[in-house]
Amino acid sequence: MPTARTVSPNRIAKRLAAIKPSPTVSLFGRVAQLRSEGRNIIGLVAGEPDFDTPDNIKQAAVDAIWQGKTKYTPVDGTAELKEAIKNKFKRENDLTYANDQIIVGVGGKHVIFNAFLATLSPGDEVIIPAPYWVSYPEMVTVCDGVPVIIPGRPEKGFKLDPADLDRAITPRTKWVILNSPSNPSGAAYTPDELRAVTEVLRKHPHIMVLADDIYEHLIYGDFKFTTPAQIEPELYDRTLTVNGVSKTYCMTGWRIGYAGGPRDVVKAMAAVQSHSTTNPASISQYAAVEALNGPQDFIKPNKDAFERRRDMVVKRLNAVEGIECQVPQGAFYVFPSCEGLIGKKRPDGQVIQSDEDFVLYLLEEAGLGVVFGSAFGMSPYFRVSYAASDEVLKDACDRIADAASRLR
Ligand code: GLU
């Protein structure tokens, strides 16, 4: 029997040295664990709609099972799903792709990971505007790339300033990630704001654009969603437009994401995928066909509910002394500042020194799970997902107000 001393200390790859488990996924697990221990915990951690997957989509999956569509499919997606995705891109984004420009993966996360695995060589830089989704820099690092973070400007709604982008570009820049509406800030670019960014990118033909459009349909008021390859056709040949069914169709667990983009990149991504997952689950793919081709009328009421919740949460958070919250245009997150609470003492005497301390305090003392801003590359903020019922959100805001009022 080998003893602990005989185990090599170098078993884990060097490129993983700086990688931590996803804070969103781990906190989600922590909330579930505390609940299973009988604690009264509200979890506003995970970015997933609280609405159920529509029945017609579930039925399509059931039908697929009974029709025996339970075998391997082509690595990059079934013919039916690729057709549905091409039609979606044409209908909603005015983007035309051929079959060999489309790839389906196991969620948007997998598609993005494959894109980096397929394209990054050691030292290639990827520009990531902060606050960013927790997994972007980690994926880049795992794939031997170098994340280059551009801090967003709170006074500009956290959006990327085109001049900041221009300054961050080097000959090693391989990709720029644009995520609108954004996780975690909910900020979305108007067509003019996006054009100002694509104008910079137009001048640098060696750069590819990864447009993460997963929150496309969760956009409020009369805000108009646009995507980089649509706004600037010159970028079409170097943009990977990533989307998925998780958020719009309440299908987070089904794990279907997809992308349209340049043939060589898509082909390389499919090669990577052929050696890892092969195809995404056949049954989920048939459900996704129904999601994209079937009735879209449930999206509007879901959106209206999210918009109402956003307004309620923003108003209640802004009423708390020490917290300031902007009104985001989309997604289902708010990203308030807790700057006014930093330096204050908890009832047990511990000092809140960071957003992470504040979030821990909320979890321990108020039974509320949210995510600290530093996980998204920006402090002192925290992310609240408002994909929960009005009652739960009211309770959560009361808990935040009460916890904040007990700080001295
Ligand atoms: N994208 C969602 C979030 O930010 C799901 C969890 C994850 O994959 O990070 O909460």
Model pLDDT for residues 198-233, shown as the tens digit of each residue = 999 999 999 999 999 999 999 999 999 999 999 999
Distance 370 CA to ligand 1 centre (A): 12
Angle between helices 108-119 and 135-142 (to 10 degrees): 30
- Taking the C-alpha atoms of residue 130 and residue 19, their distance in angstroms, rounded to an integer, is 18
pLDDT band at 5 (very low <50, low <70, confident <90, very high): low
pLDDT of amino acid 345? 98
pLDDT band at 140 (very low <50, low <70, confident <90, very high): very high
Q: Which atom of ligand 1 is nearest to the CA of 371?
A: 10
pLDDT of amino acid 29? 87
Q: Is 384 in the pocket of ligand 1 (CB under 6 A)?
A: no
Select from 206, 220, 229, 219 the least CA-distant residue to 101. 229
Is the pLDDT at 73 greater than 60? The verdict is: yes
Q: Which atom of ligand 1 is nearest to the CA of 134?
A: 9
Whose C-alpha lies nearest to ligand 1, atom 1?
Answer: 47
Q: Is 26 in the pocket of ligand 1 (CB under 6 A)?
A: no
Select from 214, 219, 234, 390 the least CA-distant residue to 316. 390
Select from 117, 124, 266 the least CA-distant residue to 206. 124
Q: Is 22 in the pocket of ligand 1 (CB under 6 A)?
A: yes
**Least trusted range by pLDDT, from 19-23, 75-79, 328-332:** 19-23
pLDDT of amino acid 4? 60
Q: How does pLDDT run across 15-40, given as a tens digit for each residue?
A: 888 888 898 888 888 888 889 999 99
Q: What are phi and psi of 396, to 5 degrees?
A: -60, -45
